[in-house]
Chain A
Amino acid sequence: MFEIKDLHVNISEVEKKIISGINLKINPGEVHAIMGPNGSGKSTLSYTLSGKEGYEIEKGDIELDGESILDDEPDERAAKGIFLAFQYPIEIPGVGNLSFIRTALNSQRKFNGKDELNPAEFLKILREKADFLNVDMEMLKRPLNVGFSGGEKKRNEILQMALLEPRFCILDETDSGLDVDAMKQVSKGVNFLRSENRSFLIITHYQRLLNYIKPDFVHIMAKGKIIKTGGPELALEVENQGYTHLLN
């Protein structure tokens, strides 16, 4: 179980409070969606959960199975099963996509006391998942995210998620900038990964993604707070009426 308790976060660089008291409980198997206007702190929340430097936790706690992960470095959190699909996946020149994913997978396996996969074993698993997600070998040989189209970058995030098999997946606006076909592919990947012991936090701007990925709960976030929680119907309400009526 993943739990956020009365979380308050400042961005150190600008000494600005961005998150002002968020509570959220996510049980295994659940899919939670967070919607909210630009600048409400959704990405800040995702970075804070994954442990990025520069996000100062003023108050509150983040717990995985009842244990605080605040002292864990980002790589430790990742190995414990927290995965963030980035809103803007980062390009790393000269680092092959495939080598990168293998390094990541083996680092996590090592952390969890499992044997590292040799290239052949890795390639077999990779092929399977890449096929399913329509990622071709050519894309895997290119440098990580360099020159990838928006859709390729997002599919590559989902591919990494499929290989790393995290327990808690955060998707930060994975749908933005995607056409309908690309969005369907991404959703197919996510739905395939849904299982009773894996949970999702899906940050999105638009309701349409939630037509493909059915959430159990929808939260509306504004000015660093969750201002309303409901079921899928809440997303439709936002779609039809916008946020303004909720903000007052």
Chain B
Amino acid sequence: MSELKLEAKQGIDQQTINSVKSLGESYKYGFTTDIDMEYAPKGLSEEIVKLISKKNDEPDWMLNWRLEAYKRWVKMDEPNWPMLNYKGIDYNDQYYYAKPKSLEKKPKSLDEVEPALLETYAKLGIPLKEQEFLAGVIGAENNMDTKPKKVAVDAVFDSVSVGTTFKDELEKLGIIFCSISEAIKLYPDLVKKYIGTVVPRTDNYFATLNSAVFSDGSFVYIPEGVKCPMELSTYFRINAENTGQFERTLIIADKKSYVSYLEGCTAPMRDTHQLHAAVVELVVLDEASIKYSTVQNWYPGDENGKGGIYNFVTKRADCRGVNSKVMWTQIETGSAVTWKYPSCILRGDNSQGEFYSVAIANNYQQADTGTKMIHLGKGTRSRIVSKGISAGKAQNTYRGLVNIHPKAANSRNFTQCDSLLIGNKCGAHTVPYIENKNNSSRTEHEATTSKIDDDQLFYCLQRGINEEDAVALIINGFCKEVLQALPMEFALEAQKLVAISLEGSVG
């Protein structure tokens, strides 16, 4: 390439970079809530584990479960296999429990919730009132369905749940939707039966840590034959400084039931890194299905890589029943570091797992994410659609495992991994592991890497669309298949988020 040509090319790249500049600058949820907090002493020890258990007023079996996890954890080492480069975490230099003082007693209704907390959720646009949502619809002209929809919300603030909406209405159908700390007390048999059966306490470093110190999270039980009539959602908010958030979610879909669940996450802008290590367990029985969607928008750090959330999450679904189905959809736009592989164990015959993912990494963000599809039953099917977008100096890795066991006859996997690069200082990596041990089963893998095309951009500009909107349009097009997999109520929100993530000064 001639120098002039190179310069012109770099100029164009630079413009594109500018136009998608800085997730940090445009992070809309970076405010802090000034509120009286109660902290457990800094650091991690058996005493802290006991304290968290006591704060939650837990039965002995739960405490013992935690202590065993803790004993195990101290002997474990942090994994170093992901394609991530981050400063070691000092596990003794953070808080493991932080709770607004006003939540000492769990509020019985919204009127009892401290105004500062209510304001926080109002600012985040999260409905704590039992109100109907006006459905956000992609391409409204194609779909005129704008019927208001109900969305039940569990709101977790730092270490505790603030409240859960539509509980009564759901209870009439036998559906349990509450915080996990409540569930441990009110439905100990259910919790005992299922907790740790999908992600064992010994599973991995971060899951074991979570098992020892998780403070709250959501619990869902859908009884046999019930289709949950509304979206269930949990919003996680980290507010306190130097505090880790360790939540645990357990969802059980009994035979022939259905539920769609969404989690959202945000955190203030801070210079220091904060740890978020969650565990999500899904249990899917015969003919049941769970649709689990995530819009992860933790603070990603600033454009120089300062601050941001370390997001180490273990999510797994166990399709125990025949014909059971799980669909993971994730929009990962935030966090400084993301380490996350929502997985499906396809144990039941003819069970199905799907994974739809958009991971955006900008500036110095690092994402190492993907899925594991473990085919154990006969006739099991899995489908993986991963869209990675990298900009700035970010590194985006898709890591996926498809494992077809010898007994999983007639099983199928289809994997599609597409990467979009913006500028020439970022990276995209695809690490697929495929192990097929059954001759009658098939796997298919397709991968593409592309750049935002200057001709596409010019075509949009020539029609009068400005550069920023044009980039958002092209990127939304790139992610379309995944965005469409989200529940209607959140699709528009996610589409906007993708645009905001890439918002910035033009040229």
Contacts and interface: CB of A to CB of B under 8 A. Distances in A.
A96 B139 CA distance: 8
B4 A52 contact: no
Nearest to B461: A74
B465 A92 contact: no
Given A15-B4, A93-B478, A164-B464, A52 B473 contact: no
Main secondary structure of the interface of A (DSSP, over half): helix
Among B456, B458, B463, B478, max chain A CB count under 10 A is at B463
Contacts of A122: 141
Given A12-B5, A103-B465, 4 more contacts: A78-B461, A86-B459, A90-B459, A108-B463
A12 B463 contact: no
Given A103-B469, A107-B466, A54 B455 contact: no
Among A90, A95, A141, max chain B CB count under 10 A is at A95
B469 A95 contact: no
Interface in A91-119: 91-96, 98-105, 107-108, 111, 119
Interface residues of A, number: 43
Interface string B303-340: 00000000000000000000000000000000000000
Query: Which 3 pairs of residues, A with B, have the shortest CB-CB distance?
Result: A94-B477, A94-B480, A104-B463
A54 B8 contact: yes
12 contacts: A51-B461, A78-B461, A78-B462, A90-B453, A94-B477, A94-B479, A95-B476, A96-B139, A100-B460, A101-B463, A105-B464, A122-B141
A98 B142 CA distance: 9
A75 interface: yes
Interface in B427-474: 453-456, 458-467, 469-470, 473-474
Given A94-B476, A123-B141, A104 B464 contact: yes
A43 B72 CA distance: 69
A98 B2 CA distance: 40
A160 B463 contact: yes
Nearest to B3: A15
B224 interface: no
Contact of A78 (B5, B455, B463, B477): B463
B122 interface: no
Contacts of B464: 75, 78-79, 104-105, 107-108, 111, 164
Main secondary structure of the interface of B (DSSP, over half): helix
B230 interface: no
B155 to A, nearest CB: 33
Contacts of A216: none
Contacts of A84: 462
Q: Which range holds the interface residue count of chain B? A: 20 to 34
B12 interface: yes
Contacts of A141: 142
B68 interface: no
Contacts of A90: 453, 455-456, 458-459
Contacts of A108: 463-464
A96 B478 CA distance: 12
Contact of B461 (A15, A75, A99): A75
A75 B466 contact: yes
Given A12-B5, A98-B139, A119-B140, A50 B12 contact: no
A74 B461 CA distance: 6
B481 interface: yes
Contacts of B5: 12-15
B459 A94 contact: no
Contact of A96 (B142, B456, B474): B142
Contacts of B455: 90
A161 to B, nearest CB: 10
Interface string B157-185: 00000000000000000000000000000
Interface in A23-71: 50-54
Contacts of B456: 90-92
A98 B459 CA distance: 15
A21 interface: no
A6 interface: no
Interface string B473-504: 11011111100000000000000000000000
Nearest to A85: B462
B142 A92 contact: no
A111 B2 CA distance: 38
A73 B465 CA distance: 11
Among B12, B140, B141, max chain A CB count under 10 A is at B141
Contacts of B481: 94
A143 B467 CA distance: 20
Contacts of A102: 141
A76 to B, nearest CB: 8
Contacts of A14: 2, 5
B479 A52 contact: no
A166 to B, nearest CB: 9
A84 B465 CA distance: 14
A120 to B, nearest CB: 8
Given A94-B480, A141-B142, A107 B459 contact: no
A119 to B, nearest CB: 4
Interface string B131-156: 00000000111100000000000000
A237 B459 CA distance: 35
Contacts of B461: 51, 73-75, 78
A63 to B, nearest CB: 19
Among A99, A101, A123, A164, max chain B CB count under 10 A is at A99
B259 to A, nearest CB: 28
A95 B465 CA distance: 13
Contacts of A13: 4-5, 8-9
B328 to A, nearest CB: 20
A95 B473 contact: yes
Contacts of B473: 92, 95, 100, 103
Contacts of A232: none
Contacts of A111: 464
Nearest to B482: A94
Contact of A53 (B4, B12, B459): B12
A123 to B, nearest CB: 6
Given A53-B12, A93-B478, A94-B477, A75 B467 contact: yes
